[in-house]
């Protein structure tokens, strides 16, 4: 039994996320977690809300709430939506937790002990009209490198160049739009990650199995221009982790907090500590996942994230871990994703354009969305959600292939043999050919899932469903029944077992439908099929079952047009 630690990028606290956010981290992470649990591995799947920084303060002010109250409320909202989407976190924590406060301050102290923290007097942009220093991401302007007009003060998303606010041409405050800005002096702590450049470069170069998307972004940050820069880890804000050196005050840093990018990834560890406390376990329970001197040496740690989060997880967070000098677990594999676009454009919160997680669940159950998103995951390039494609995929894959198979088999059996697995007849060449096909395809499916090749795994799963339909059509039990009821019984007995097998294999993708099929087959046996022949004999003759309700309803043209218009958003 392997031990697998899985984390997905933390959703930010200020609002409900859209489907592009979901497929870029949490959903494929859940797929991998469910698959590994199904294979009998020990899994720890961790996520949390990312709650610090100016955006949380501004969102709370807009809502007319204290920021702590706002974050607590939105955490519960996001946790509820995640649960309804079937995201099987072992724990969904909060970066504002006491555990994360202590760990963030601990890491800062260790980095300082190792001469990797430097106090820097720097000039930062102050908005006179807003009456505050502006964090990097609340200053926008023109990128000096590529000319993109929407570059932020920390990075240009167009060319991915790392920036400082003072690099921007014609900058303005994104809070008020004001250009009445001036540069003022303030003191901050910097992580001297440039000192770890060679170590990081060697470490990343050793990850020959990582996706090209992951390593190419990391290498670009390491080598382009001036290379890896030191990064500020504190900010002049009220909401956040207070700047301390371990549990001691940090002279000169009174009233400051750690920058959100520094404390957020530490929350992966913090949330695991939260999990231990919530389950009345001692520190050894979470340390065995994170400290190689406490048992984490045999853990495989996998991260899932969108490409915009790659630089911090390949460079800055590893620099924090390495720089501490302590035996913390480093990530073994980073699965990164490109962007999901929406119907010819981009998702837009401000314009109400696109489908957000709560809206998706208001019109269709989660499995419809899970299947489409995972089978169209933006792995090798950006992908695009269109309503036409969504309708076609749901109707063809889920309704016509999987749902239709379960319906035809169970209803035919009920009409001819009753709601029990029929006895009589033997498996012949047709059944053996199906078993051989399934054996090859399940092995390929397992390989794709092990390798986190999401779209290939979905394609293989669909092919497994199709194989059953083709077998049923060729074996034609409705024709056999007239001349040889026992031969028809053998076909149906195998097909009922195939429904159970489909439920097991499909559970990582569509867990609710899987549970429905297992319940209909009147079994709790969800063991992964190591032997296909054995798997197709799990439900014995005379075993009772029930005919399930319609597994997936087809999307009509009228529904598609209605939703397409509803989620088009405001036009420019």
Residue 146 is labelled as binding a ligand: yes
Tell me the C-alpha distance between 17 and 566, whole Å: 18
Tell me the C-alpha distance between 488 and 36, whole Å: 36
Tell me the C-alpha distance between 489 and 485, whole Å: 6
Residues 6+ apart with CB under 8 A from 509: 31, 367, 370, 371, 374, 375, 458, 461
Residue 71 is labelled as binding a ligand: no
> How many other C-beta atoms lie within 10 A of the C-beta of residue 325?
12
Residue 47 is labelled as binding a ligand: no
Name beta bridge partners: 126. 133, 182
- SS3 label, residue 556: coil
- SS3 label, residue 337: strand
Q: Supply the DSSP string of 55-80, one letter for each residue.
A: HHHHHHHHHTS-HHHHHHHHHHHHHH
Q: Supply the DSSP string of 192-234, one letter for each residue.
A: -GGGGHHHHHHHHHT-TTS-HHHHHHHHHHHHSTT-SPPEE-E
Tell me the C-alpha distance between 505 and 196, whole Å: 44
Residues 6+ apart with CB under 8 A from 405: 465, 468, 469, 472, 495, 498, 499, 502
- SS3 label, residue 18: strand
Tell me the C-alpha distance between 569 and 572, whole Å: 10
Tell me the C-alpha distance between 168 and 142, whole Å: 6
Q: Which of 317, 209, 235 is nearest to 268 (CA)?
A: 317
Return the H-helix or E-strand segment holding 119.
strand 117-127
Tell me the C-alpha distance between 380 and 357, whole Å: 24
- SS3 label, residue 495: helix
Whole-angstrom Cα Rg for the chain: 27
Tell me the C-alpha distance between 8 and 89, whole Å: 10
> How many other C-beta atoms lie within 10 A of the C-beta of residue 223?
12
Residue 156 is labelled as binding a ligand: yes
Q: Token pair for residue 512?
A: 């609710």
Number of residues written out for the chain: 572
CA of 1: how far to CAs of 37, 40, 91, 269, 401, in Å? 10, 6, 21, 23, 34
Residue 143 is labelled as binding a ligand: yes
- SS3 label, residue 263: helix
- SS3 label, residue 61: helix
Return the H-helix or E-strand segment holding 258.
strand 257-258
Q: Which of 127, 249, 113 is nearest to 179 (CA)?
A: 127
Cα 186 from chain centroid (whole Å):
37
Q: How far apart are the first and last CA of the chain?
A: 55
Q: Binding site for Zn(2+): residue ranges?
A: 143, 146, 156, 159
Q: Binding site for ATP: residue ranges?
A: 349
Q: Binding site: residue ranges?
A: 143, 146, 156, 159, 349
């Amino acid at each position: 039994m392997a031990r697998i630690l899985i984390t997905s990028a933390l959703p930010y606290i200020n609002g409900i996320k859209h489907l592009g956010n979901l497929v870029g981290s949490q959903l494929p992470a859940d797929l991998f977690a469910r698959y590994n649990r199904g294979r009998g591995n020990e899994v720890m799947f961790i996520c949390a809300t990312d709650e610090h920084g100016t955006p949380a303060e501004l969102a709370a002010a807009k809502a007319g709430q204290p920021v702590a109250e706002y974050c607590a409320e939105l955490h519960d909202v996001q946790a509820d939506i995640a649960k309804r989407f079937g995201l099987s976190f072992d724990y969904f924590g909060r970066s504002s937790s006491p555990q994360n406060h202590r760990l963030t301050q601990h890491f800062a102290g260790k980095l300082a002990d190792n001469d990797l923290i430097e106090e820097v007097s720097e000039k930062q942009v102050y908005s006179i009209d807003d009456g505050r220093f502006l964090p990097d991401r609340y200053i926008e302007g023109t990128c000096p490198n590529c000319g993109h007009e929407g570059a932020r003060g920390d990075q240009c998303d167009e060319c991915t160049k790392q920036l400082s606010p003072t690099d921007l041409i014609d900058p303005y405050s994104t809070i008020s739009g004001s250009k009445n800005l001036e540069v003022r002096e303030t003191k901050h702590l910097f992580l001297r990650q440039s000192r770890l450049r060679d170590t990081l470069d060697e470490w990343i170069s050793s990850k020959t199995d990582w996706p090209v998307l992951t390593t190419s972004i990391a290498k670009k940050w390491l080598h382009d221009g001036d290379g890896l820069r030191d990064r500020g880890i504190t900010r002049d804000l009220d909401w956040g982790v207070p700047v301390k050196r371990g549990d001691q005050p940090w002279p000169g840093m009174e009233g400051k907090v750690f920058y959100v990018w520094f404390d957020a990834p530490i929350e992966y560890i913090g949330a695991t500590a939260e999990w231990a406390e919530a389950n009345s376990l001692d520190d050894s329970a979470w340390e065995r996942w994170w400290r190689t001197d406490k048992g984490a040496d045999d853990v495989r740690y996998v991260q899932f994230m969108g490409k915009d989060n790659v630089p911090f997880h390949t460079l800055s967070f590893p620099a924090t871990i390495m720089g501490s000098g302590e035996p913390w677990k480093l990530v073994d594999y980073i699965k990164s994703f490109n962007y999901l676009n929406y119907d010819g454009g981009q998702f837009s919160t401000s314009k109400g354009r696109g489908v957000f997680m709560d809206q998706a669940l208001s019109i269709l159950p989660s499995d419809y969305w899970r299947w489409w998103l995972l089978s169209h995951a933006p792995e090798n390039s950006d992908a695009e959600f269109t309503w036409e494609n969504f309708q076609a995929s749901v109707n063809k894959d889920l309704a016509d292939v999987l749902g239709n198979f379960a319906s035809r088999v169970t209803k035919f059996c009920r009409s001819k043999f009753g709601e029990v697995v029929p006895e009589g007849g033997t498996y012949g060449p047709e059944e053996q050919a199906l078993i051989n096909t399934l054996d090859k395809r399940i092995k390929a499916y397992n390989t794709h899932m092990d390798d986190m090749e999401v779209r290939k795994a979905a394609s293989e799963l669909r092919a497994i469903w199709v194989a059953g339909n083709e077998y049923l059509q060729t074996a034609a039990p409705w024709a056999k029944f007239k001349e040889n009821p026992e031969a028809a019984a053998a076909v149906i007995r195998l097909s009922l077992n195939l429904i159970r097998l489909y439920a097991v294999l499909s559970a990582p993708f569509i867990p609710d439908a899987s549970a429905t099929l297992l319940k209909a087959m009147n079994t709790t046996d969800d063991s992964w099929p190591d032997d296909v022949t054995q798997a197709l004999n799990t439900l014995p003759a005379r075993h009772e079952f029930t005919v399930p309700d319609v597994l997936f309803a087809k999307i009509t043209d009228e529904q598609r047009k209605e939703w397409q218009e509803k989620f088009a958003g405001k036009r420019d």
